[in-house]
Each structure stands twice: as C-alpha cells, then as structure tokens.
Amino acid sequence: MNSVFDFDRPIDMAWCPGCGNYDIIKSVKGALDDLKIPRERIVMVSGIGQAAKLPQYINVSFFNGLHGRSLPAATAIKASNPRLTVVVVSGDGCTYGEGGNHFLAALRRNPDITNLVHDNMVYGLTKGQASPTSRRGFTTPVQINGVYLEPFNPVAIAVAMNASFVARAFSGDVGKTKEIIKKAIMHKGYSLVDILHPCVTFNRVNSFSWYKSNTYYLDEEYDPSNRDEALKKSIETEKIPLGVIYVNSGNKTFEENLIPYKSSDTPLYLRKLDINKLRKIIDEHIK
C-alpha cells in the first residue's frame, strides 16, 4: 500500500530480513496516513539502535540523537513548538536501559508526545546482549549463565506513575498495532506504546510464535480508565495482555504547564524578545 510518507527514491534499510521492525513501520505509516496529519508538522525522534533507524525510512522531519536521550529531545521539541506532532521511536535498551531516568521523568512531565518502544527483549545492534526486558534465564555471550535480573516492566511502572496513556502491542499484528498507535497519537499527553516484536537474529527464545502463544488481547469490556484493573493487567507476565491498558486524561500536559503557552500555543520561533521590557528591567537596577 502506498503511503504519503514513502520516498520517491529507493532506500537502503538496515534491518535483517524478517525483522519485526518491517511490520512496525507499516503500522506507523498506516497510522499517520489514517490520521492525515500534514507531513511537515510531524517530527520523529529516536535514539540509537535498530529501532531508532525507523525515522530514516519515513519521509518526515526527524531528530536522531543520542542513545537513550530521545525523550528529553522529544519533550523539548514539543515544548519549543507545541503545534508539531512528535513521535518517539526507539528500542527497549535505548528507552528503558540507557534512558531509564528520562523514561521516569517523561511519565512525570506528561509531554504531549507518543513514545513507541520496539521491545524485542534483546540488544540487536550490539549483537545479542541482554536488554532491560530480557527474561530471567536468557543466555547471551555476556550473560553466559543466563539473565538473573528482574525484567523491567515498563507498563507496570507507567501505570504506577499514573501515566497518561499506556498500551502494549505486538508487531506481528499490523492492523491492531496501527489502531493502537492511532489512539496513542490522538491522545493528549504522554502515550507509551510498548511494542513486542521478535528479533530474528539474536533472540531465538521470544520468537514470533512465542509471542503468538504468550499474548492475548484485552476484551471489549475492559475499562482502561480503571487504574486498579490496569495495575493488575500490567503485572501479568505469564500471558501478556495487549491493547490499551490504561488511560488517564486528568493531568495537564507539560506544555500546558509551561509559562509561554499559558495563553497561546505560538511556537517559540514566532516570538520576539520585547526589548523595551528588557530595558525596563535593566533600568530597575539603577534605583
């Protein structure tokens, strides 16, 4: 299917054949096409890793910064121009490992951005070490006797922090993932979508079929505004629930709390220094 976010030239994609990222990019483009957001108003932000290359393959503006630092960058972009639609795409290592402190801060700040985390429970680009979400017992060339750390549970942390929008998706289900991403983008506030996906090269345990048999979709009756239920769902790890797990629309966004935007969403670049005000402040120092 053609997307307005396709390039009119061939592009060289750095992902392995069969990688879950190919499905995710389909879902992302589909969501952006469906929402009809003007191309020039979208900014994608990423860190470093295979997932973080995704913005390179979508014809939009992007800020591919440092490993682990996508959330501060995305937060500042939105805070400098609230009229932009900001979508962060990075992996589990980048977002929950290197960038863990920023993940916690993003939950607290609640910027109106969407955070897609490609969660394949392994470090791919550095060739197969444990990630923060790797399961106990997962062996790698570094964790030779298996992972002995408790796996990081981003969904439970996000719900515990009363985050604005928390969802989990599975890359293999392009259509359903697209719909979840659409809801996340449309939601006002920080939206986390943890996207489970297989790494065909370095994770032989959590494969496509493993995810198929170890996940299930929340049913129609599930009420994502019920935090107690959401907490329960977020700590289910035997069979992992998929869908929108928690929605809290009660908090103001980061930008809404910022002084320049109290009365207008005019981006910083369209504002000018009031030189007379500055002169007045300077003059006050002579008295």
Least separation in angstroms between CB 45 and another protein: 8
Q: Are 61 and 15 in contact (CB under 8 A)?
A: no
Tokens of 121: 């429970």
Q: Are 27 and 174 in contact (CB under 8 A)?
A: yes
Least separation in angstroms between CB 230 and another protein: 25
Whole-number Å distance between alpha carbons of 68 and 92: 10
Whole-number Å distance between alpha carbons of 127 and 198: 14
Return the residue of 3, 16, 26, 66 that touches another protein, per CB under 8 A. Answer: 66
Q: Residue 208 or residue 261: which is nearer to another protein going by CB?
A: 261
Return the residue of 19, 24, 32, 73 that touches another protein, per CB under 8 A. Answer: 73
Nearest C-alpha neighbor of 200 from the set 121, 135, 117: 121
Which residue type, as a one-letter code, is found at position 120? N
Return the residue of 79, 117, 121, 157 that touches another protein, per CB under 8 A. Answer: 79
Q: Residue 76 or residue 160: which is nearer to another protein going by CB?
A: 76
> Residues in contact with another protein, total (CB under 8 A)?
54
Which residues ranging from 211 to 270 are in contact with another protein (CB under 8 A)?
Answer: 258-260, 267-270
Q: Are 157 and 107 in contact (CB under 8 A)?
A: yes
**Is there binding between residue 36 and another protein (CB under 8 A)?**
no
Place of tokens 């032989």: 204
**Is there binding between residue 8 and another protein (CB under 8 A)?**
no
Return the residue of 88, 93, 95, 102 that touches another protein, per CB under 8 A. Answer: 102
